[in-house]
């Protein structure tokens, strides 16, 4: 009897495995979007918006992907799921957020359509609208597109060239030859001048609220001022 009991206890002990030897088996995560994420398109757009805001605030070079993930409130793995590298992220931003606006601007310049002065003033109004609807636009454009060393400028030219920009310049020169625009205007400086009349004042007046000696001006005031200057400055000589 005693022998049988000892044998049974030995068998039970053999069936038991010490906890220290139990290996927790974790099923590897399957490929795909990390769990706990919001819907794909919504999350992706939120990451793009966050990247644009940070790039405008501190520059592309000084903004690692980890900073974008932290600002967006997601893990680096989540960001990596949508954008494997910063270069890929930049290309998506150019393709989806910047290039469509460049195309829209170039479409405004048709040699056989519209009154030239009206086209140029509408361009100024369009830039003001973009700047007010997308706060990242003014500083990002000045920092990363206007600058010769701007990262976006280099990548835009590499991906799309200067075709749209050159087409607008050629159109302005054509209007001048027809006597429909002031011949003293330099076509290559029109875009820069419009940005100078819209974006720079908009950036400036945004800080005037701290100075009581400055007038209180908004986006509509800047747009009105720019249009008045353009309407009287780019028209043909009488």
Residue-wise pLDDT for 23-53, tens only, equals 444 445 455 555 444 568 899 999 999 999 9
4 burial type by CB count under 10 A (0-12 exposed, 13-18 middle, 19+ buried): exposed
Q: Are residues 192 and 229 in the same domain?
A: yes
pTM for the structure as a whole: 0.72
121 burial type by CB count under 10 A (0-12 exposed, 13-18 middle, 19+ buried): buried
Q: Are residues 107 and 134 in the same domain?
A: yes
- Domain span at residue 121? 97-208+216-233
- In the predicted model, what is the mean pLDDT of residues 149-164? 86
Q: Is 19 within the bounds of a domain?
A: no
Q: Are residues 101 and 79 in the same domain?
A: no
In contact, 157 and 98? CB cutoff 8 Å: no
pLDDT attached to residue 148: 79
Bigger pLDDT: 158 vs 20: 158
Q: Are residues 115 and 160 in the same domain?
A: yes
pLDDT attached to residue 177: 94
CATH number at residue 65: 1.10.10.60
Q: Are residues 58 and 126 in the same domain?
A: no
- In the predicted model, what is the mean pLDDT of residues 133-145? 87
205 has a pLDDT exceeding 60 = yes
Q: Are residues 138 and 165 in the same domain?
A: yes
Bigger pLDDT: 80 vs 4: 80
Q: Is 109 within the bounds of a domain?
A: yes
Q: Are residues 228 and 121 in the same domain?
A: yes
- In the predicted model, what is the mean pLDDT of residues 223-236? 76
Q: Is 16 within the bounds of a domain?
A: no
CATH number at residue 193: 1.10.357.10
78 has a pLDDT exceeding 90 = yes
- In the predicted model, what is the mean pLDDT of residues 92-108? 88
Measured distance between the N- and C-terminal CA atoms of the chain, rounded to whole angstroms? 125
Backbone angles phi, psi at 206, to 5 degrees: -65, -20
Q: Are residues 119 and 224 in the same domain?
A: yes
In contact, 203 and 218? CB cutoff 8 Å: no
């Amino acid at each position: 009897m005693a022998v049988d009991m000892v044998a049974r206890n030995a068998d039970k002990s053999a069936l038991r495995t010490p906890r220290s030897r139990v290996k927790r088996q974790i099923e590897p995560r399957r490929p795909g979007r990390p769990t706990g994420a919001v819907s794909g398109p919504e999350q992706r757009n939120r990451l793009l918006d966050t990247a644009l805001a940070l790039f405008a605030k501190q520059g592309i070079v000084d903004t690692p992907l980890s900073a974008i993930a932290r600002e967006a409130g997601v893990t680096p793995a989540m960001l990596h799921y949508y954008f494997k590298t910063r270069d890929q992220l930049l290309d998506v931003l150019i393709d989806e957020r910047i290039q469509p606006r460049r195309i829209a601007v170039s479409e405004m310049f048709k040699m056989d359509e519209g009154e030239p002065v009206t086209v140029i003033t509408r361009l100024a109004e369009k830039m003001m609208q973009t700047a007010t609807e997308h706060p990242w636009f003014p500083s990002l454009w000045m920092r990363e597109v206007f600058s010769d060393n701007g990262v976006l400028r280099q990548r835009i030219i590499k991906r799309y060239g200067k075709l749209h920009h050159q087409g607008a310049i050629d159109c302005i020169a054509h209007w001048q030859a027809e006597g429909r625009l002031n011949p003293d205007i330099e076509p290559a400086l029109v875009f820069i001048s419009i940005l100078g009349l819209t974006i720079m004042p908009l950036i400036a007046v945004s800080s005037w609220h701290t100075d009581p000696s400055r007038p209180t001006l908004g986006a509509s005031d800047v747009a009105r001022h720019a249009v008045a200057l353009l309407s009287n400055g780019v028209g043909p000589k009488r």
